[in-house]
């Protein structure tokens, strides 16, 4: 059997030139990330933890420092971070073919499941039991968003400059300024400062849907929860969906394994059916493949440049502001009844007092909604 070693600065494992070995590695990448994509609940942080356990600790594809370098690299480029990690790790294990296979294998299980759920939503969404589940999930989803906002804010907002950036971004977003514009502005201002001081509409054309989601996928910094802000600006304000259906999409994205960003698949299905789901998914994730392919060989240089580090700090603060603005905007749709307020309070206690996982909380909310719908229906 051919020996294998990991070089800390190489882009792939050092192995023999055998085509059989290369095919075996590609199959391994497909199996590993297909399985992770089918069971990885809990959002991008949980996904990355699972990837570290599987690829670094269990299989020894790379050492921990290299893994952490890749995590840092995904924070420097837009797109869903855990998906970009799957793409990076696939490339390291099986070269450029692995880049494609790793990303697709991680995305596909969630995309297929979300498409099936979107079909069921369109067909049975008005059934009392299904409606009750979604009504119960909305306040729980809002609590999850607030929890993500708190955790991210503690990390990203640590100086007066970043606090100001977060507040300004939240205010401008609530005033109607595009989230994409705010992220781009944050990046530009951050670069400048770092240099100065280093340290239901099925007739909607599929081309338009592809363009919207490609723009989102190419400018999405931070965690998957930031996608909510982008979707509200690009989808709700165009009149394609309302806030309630947007929250439903987020709930489905949370309840299904794999990338939270497959909420785009759900939205695409609601807007333009199965072709819309395919187009929205492709637009959402294609930029990530391109960014990883372009930046993978440059990771070591990027991490040591103070200008990029300073810019990223400001972008992270802007993202905190965007999440805060979206939580404020979605609150009326999520907390419109006494029952919804009770669900939100219970979800908050379960999350912040007892430490239950977000997936467990949303699953419990779905069961409560199902039981309530059955009782009311009966």
On whether residue 4 sits in a domain, the answer given is no
- Residue 41 is predicted with a pLDDT of 63
Residues 66 and 172 in one domain: no
**3-state DSSP call for residue 14?**
strand
**Matching residue, tokens 């919207």:** 212
What pLDDT score was predicted for residue 301?
Answer: 66
Pair 194, 58 in one domain: no
Q: Are residues 176 and 263 in the same domain?
A: yes
Q: How far apart are CA 146 and CA 267, in angstroms?
A: 22
> What gap in Å lies between CA 27 and CA 31, rounded to an integer?
6
Q: Measured between alpha carbons, how far is 319 from 327 in angstroms, rounded to an integer?
A: 12
pLDDT per residue of the chain (378 residues) written in tens, 0 to 9 = 444 444 443 444 444 556 677 778 999 999 999 988 886 665 676 677 778 878 887 899 988 777 777 776 776 678 888 899 899 999 999 999 999 999 999 999 989 988 988 888 888 765 555 667 777 877 877 777 787 677 767 777 888 888 888 888 888 888 888 766 777 787 778 777 766 554 444 444 788 888 899 988 888 875 556 777 788 888 888 888 888 888 888 777 766 766 767 888 988 998 888 899 999 999 999 998 998 888 777 765 665 677 776 776 777 677 677 778 878 888 888 898 899 999 999 999 998 999 887 767 877 888 888 888 777 765
| Number of domains, the chain | 2
Which pLDDT value is given to residue 19? 67
Phi, psi of 14 (to 5 degrees): -85, 110
In a domain, 2, yes or no: no
Residues 330 and 182 in one domain: yes
Residues 95 and 109 in one domain: no
Give yes or no for a contact between 276 and 268, defined as CB atoms under 8 angstroms apart: yes
- Give the pLDDT of residue 199: 43
Query: 9 lies in a domain?
Result: no
Residue 358, domain member (yes or no): yes
Q: What span, in angstroms and rounded, lies between the C-alpha atoms of 22 and 27? A: 9
Would you state the pLDDT for residue 97? Answer: 93
Domain membership flag for residue 13: no
Q: What are the CB-based long-range contacts (under 8 Å, 24+) for 233-241? A: 233/178, 233/179, 233/180, 235/267, 235/271, 239/201, 240/200, 240/201, 240/204, 240/267, 240/270, 240/271, 241/200, 241/267, 241/270, 241/271
Give the DSSP letter of residue 5. Answer: B
Query: pLDDT value at position 3?
Result: 43
Are 41 and 165 contained in the same domain?
no
DSSP, residue by residue, 73-104: HHHTSSS-HHHHHHHHHHHHHHHHHHHHHHHH
Q: Do 90 and 112 belong together in one domain?
A: no
Residue 17: what pLDDT? 56
Among candidate residues 103, 138, 161, the one where a domain is terminated: 103
Direct distance between the N- and C-terminal alpha carbons of the chain, in angstroms, rounded to an integer: 65
Q: Are 266 and 358 within one domain?
A: yes
Q: Decide if 73 is inside a domain.
A: yes
Among 74, 103, 132, residue at a domain's last position? 103
pLDDT of residue 5: 44
Same domain, 32 and 137: no
Asked whether residue 132 is domain-assigned, the answer is yes
Same domain? For 82 and 129 the reply is: no
Residue 95, domain extent: 19-103
Q: Residues 70, 136: one domain?
A: no
The reply to whether 219 and 116 lie within a common domain is yes
Residue 1 confidence (pLDDT): 42
Decide which of 103, 119, 148 is a domain's last residue. 103
Confirm whether 12 is domain-assigned. no
How much is the pTM?
Answer: 0.60
């Amino acid at each position: 059997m051919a020996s294998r070693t990991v070089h800390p600065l190489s882009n792939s494992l050092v192995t023999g030139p055998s085509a059989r070995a290369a095919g075996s590695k590609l199959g391994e990448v497909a199996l590993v990330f297909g399985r992770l994509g089918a069971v990885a609940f809990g959002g991008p942080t949980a996904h990355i933890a699972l990837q570290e356990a599987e690829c670094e600790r269990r299989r020894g594809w790379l050492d921990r420092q290299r893994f952490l370098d890749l995590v840092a690299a995904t924070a420097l480029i837009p797109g869903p971070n855990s998906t970009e990690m799957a793409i990076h790790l696939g490339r390291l294990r099986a070269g450029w073919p692995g880049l494609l296979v790793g990303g697709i294998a991680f995305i596909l299980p969630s995309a297929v499941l979300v498409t099936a759920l979107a079909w069921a939503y369109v067909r049975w969404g008005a059934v009392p039991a299904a409606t009750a589940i979604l009504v119960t999930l909305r306040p729980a989803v809002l609590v999850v968003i607030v929890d993500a906002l708190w955790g991210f804010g503690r990390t990203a907002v640590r100086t007066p400059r970043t606090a100001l950036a977060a507040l300004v971004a939240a205010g401008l977003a609530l005033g109607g300024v595009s989230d994409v514009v705010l992220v781009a502005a944050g990046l530009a201002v951050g670069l400048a400062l770092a240099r100065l001081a280093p340290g239901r509409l099925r007739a909607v054309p599929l081309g338009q849907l592809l363009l919207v989601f490609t723009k989102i996928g190419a400018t999405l910094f931070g965690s998957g929860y930031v996608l909510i802000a982008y979707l509200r600006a690009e989808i709700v304000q165009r009149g394609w969906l309302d806030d309630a259906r947007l929250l439903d999409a987020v709930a489905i994205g949370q309840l299904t394994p794999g990338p939270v960003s497959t909420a785009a698949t759900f939205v695409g299905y609601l807007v333009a059916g199965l072709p819309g789901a395919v187009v929205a998914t492709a637009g959402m994730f294609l930029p990530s493949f391109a960014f990883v392919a372009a930046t993978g060989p440059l990771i070591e240089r990027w991490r040591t440049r103070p200008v990029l580090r300073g810019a990223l700090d400001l972008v992270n603060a802007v993202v905190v502001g965007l999440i805060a603005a979206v939580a404020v905007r979605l609150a009326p749709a999520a907390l419109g009844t006494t029952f919804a307020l009770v669900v939100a309070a219970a979800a908050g206690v379960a999350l912040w007092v007892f430490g239950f996982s977000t997936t467990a909380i949303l699953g419990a909310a779905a069961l409560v909604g199902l039981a309530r719908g059955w009782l009311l229906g009966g």
